[in-house]
Amino acid sequence: MMQFLLGLVYLLAHAPDQCEATDRLAPPGWQGNFWGPSANQDRREGKLPKVPMTPVMTSWQNWGKKTLRNGDIVFRRGDARVLFGYFRFSRFVANADNSEFSHTGVVAIENGEPVVYDTTKMGVACQPFGVWMLDNVGALGVKRLRPEHRGAIPKVLAYCQKVFQQQVPFDYELGADDSKLYCVEMTEKAFRAAGVALSEPIALGDMERANEFPVSMLGLQYASGWVLDRPISFQDRVYMPGNDHHGVWGSPFLLTIFPPTDVADRSVPDLQASREK
C-alpha cells in the first residue's frame, strides 16, 4: 500500500503539463479568463500589455486576413489534456471519431482582424486567429456557409458575442443544455440560433473508431465518475467536428474553403489552397 501511495504521489508531482500554448501567455498568477471580455478590454485600454506576436503568429494572422470571413468555421487538432495531464483528451476524441480535428471555433472580423470565438477551460474566449493557431498540433481546416444561407451569419455572430459576454462556463460533462458549452457545442448552437442545424449529435459509443480504443473509452467513463458531478456515459450524445460523412465538417450547409491540412510544423500554407472566394 505504501508503495502504491508513493507511486501516486510521484505521478502527481511529475504529471505532464496540462496547459496549452495560449494558457502560457497569461501573466504568472493570473486569475480568470485571459481571453474573456475583461482581459480583452484591459488590453485595448493599455491596462494589460498587448499579446506579443511572434513572426509565425503574425504570418497566421495575415493568412487569416486574406482567407477568412465572418461566420467561417475553423477546425484544428488540439492537445487538451485531463486527469492531471496524463490523458490526451483532444487526440483521443479525434482518433475515436475518425476525424482530423478535435476542436472548432467561429470566425468574426473585428476592426479588420480575424478573431475566433470558442470555448476554453476558463469559459468562452475571443482570440486573434494567430493566437488561436498556437494551440493547433495537427490539421487545420476551414468551412463556410453556402451562399444561400449566409444571411444567417449576423445571428451566428450575435450568439457568439452573447455567450462571450455572459462567460458561459466550459461543459466538462458534455451535457445537452445551454448552461455550459464545449467548443463544438458552441459552434453548433451558434448556427442553430440562426436557424441552421449543421449536424446532429452522436452517442460517444457510436464514434466511428470507438471500438479500437476500449481502454481509453472505459478509462474515461470510470475516471469521469470521480471528477464530475455526472459521469460521462457511452450513451451521451455529443456534437463532433466529424469528417466528410458526419459531424460539423460533413454538414451539407457548408463549403470547404481549406481542406484538412497538417500544419503542425507551424508553416503557413499557400493561399491557393483556398477553394472558394
* Tens of pLDDT, residues 94-152: 888 899 999 999 999 999 999 999 998 889 999 999 999 999 989 999 999 999 999 99
Question: Model-level pTM greater than 0.75?
Answer: yes
Per-residue pLDDT tens for 70-86?
999 999 997 765 555 55
Which residue from 30, 26, 16 is spatially nearest to 83, judged by alpha carbons?
A: 16
User: Is there a contact between 103 and 75 (Cβ–Cβ < 8 Å)?
Assistant: yes
Whether the per-residue pLDDT at 62 is higher than 50: the answer is yes
Whether the per-residue pLDDT at 197 is higher than 80: the answer is yes
Looking at CATH, the fold of the domain delimited by 33-263 is given as endopeptidase fold (from Nostoc punctiforme) (3.90.1720)
**What is the Cα–Cα distance from 130 to 29, expressed in whole angstroms?**
24
C-beta neighbour count of 107 within 10 angstroms: 25
Model pLDDT, residue 14: 36
Model pLDDT, residue 224: 66
Model pLDDT, residue 130: 96
Model pLDDT, residue 83: 53
In order, the DSSP letters of 24-93 are: GGSPTT--S-TTSHHHHHHHHTTSSPPPP--HHHHHHHHHHHHH--TT-EEEE----EETTTTEEHHHHH
Question: pLDDT band for position 159 (50/70/90)?
Answer: very high
Enter the DSSP assignment of 180: S
Enter the DSSP assignment of 170: B
Model pLDDT, residue 55: 93
In order, the DSSP letters of 196-247 are: ------EEGGGSTTGGG-HHHHHHHHHHHHHHSSS---TT-EE----BTTBT
Weakest mean pLDDT among 24-28, 48-52, 204-208, 214-218: 214-218
Whether the per-residue pLDDT at 6 is higher than 50: the answer is no
Whether the per-residue pLDDT at 274 is higher than 80: the answer is no
Enter the DSSP assignment of 123: E
Whether the per-residue pLDDT at 225 is higher than 80: the answer is no
